[in-house]
């Protein structure tokens, strides 16, 4: 996917895979793939059964991109809503200020070239110890038991747990949204399986 979107040495590609063989991807730079032009605030959909690309979320239609807000991580929920973390702090309609260690939920009313919908704050990272640029969220997922799993852009330290960007943290929520609370645990220690090397 990285080669198909942009050169791997100039950008990273964040993907989310659904059960119906659709791969959702966002890149850290713009380009064209399969005849579809995109920017770093967009989400593309790749249909693995037909080999075709399409625009899934045009971020500029819903307030992304204007102040350099690229999509850093994404997760497509079963109900069609989309969890996003942004590459830089900014402002979103309906929420106000959003940091790169927060997760927002986008609820689309339409997707594709004419994307529309609304935002709500899903996870306030600062409420639970994420506060630095290094702790920006760059991966979003869920454990089989439904708990939120994230990775950070660089080193992190929360509730006495510290580590590096090769780790995954799991969050047991007691509340989410504007008043996020709960507890953290280490879910996956990347250094245990040699993901802590420079390469």
pLDDT tens for each residue of 134-153: 999 999 999 999 999 999 99
Mean per-residue pLDDT for 68-85?
Answer: 93
Q: Look up the pTM and report it.
A: 0.87
Mean per-residue pLDDT for 25-39?
Answer: 92
pLDDT tens-digit series, residues 95-118: 999 999 999 999 999 999 999 999
pLDDT at position 60: 93
pLDDT at position 160: 86
Q: How confident is the model at residue 38 (pLDDT cuts 50, 70, 90)?
A: very high
**How is 99-149 classified by DSSP, letter by letter?**
-TT-EEEEEEEE-BTT-EEEEEEEE-GGGGT--SGGG-EEEEEE-TTS-EE
Q: How confident is the model at residue 49 (pLDDT cuts 50, 70, 90)?
A: confident
Count CB-CB contacts under 10 A for residue 26: 27
Residue 88 has pLDDT above 80, yes or no: yes
Strands (E), 146-193: 148-152, 156-158, 161-163, 168-175, 181-188
Mean per-residue pLDDT for 172-182?
Answer: 97
Beta strands 103-110 and 96-98 are unpaired
């Amino acid at each position: 996917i990285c080669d198909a979107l942009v050169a791997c040495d100039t950008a990273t590609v964040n993907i989310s895979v659904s059960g119906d063989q659709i791969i959702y991807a966002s890149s850290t730079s713009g380009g064209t793939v399969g005849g579809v032009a995109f920017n770093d605030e967009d989400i593309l959909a790749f249909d693995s059964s037909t080999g075709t690309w399409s625009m899934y979320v045009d971020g500029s239609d819903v307030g992304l991109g204007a102040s350099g807000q690229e999509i850093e991580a994404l997760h497509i929920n079963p109900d069609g809503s989309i969890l996003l973390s942004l590459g830089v702090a900014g402002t979103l309609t309906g929420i106000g200020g959003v940091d790169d260690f927060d997760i927002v939920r986008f609820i689309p009313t339409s997707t594709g070239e004419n994307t529309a919908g609304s935002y709500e704050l899903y996870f306030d990272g600062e409420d639970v110890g994420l506060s630095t640029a290094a702790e920006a969220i760059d991966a979003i997922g869920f454990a089989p038991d439904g708990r939120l799993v994230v990775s950070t852009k660089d080193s992190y330290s929360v509730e006495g747990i510290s580590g590096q960007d090769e780790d995954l943290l799991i969050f047991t929520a007691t509340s989410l949204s504007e008043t996020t609370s709960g507890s953290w645990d280490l879910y996956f220690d990347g250094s245990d399986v040699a993901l802590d090397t420079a390469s």
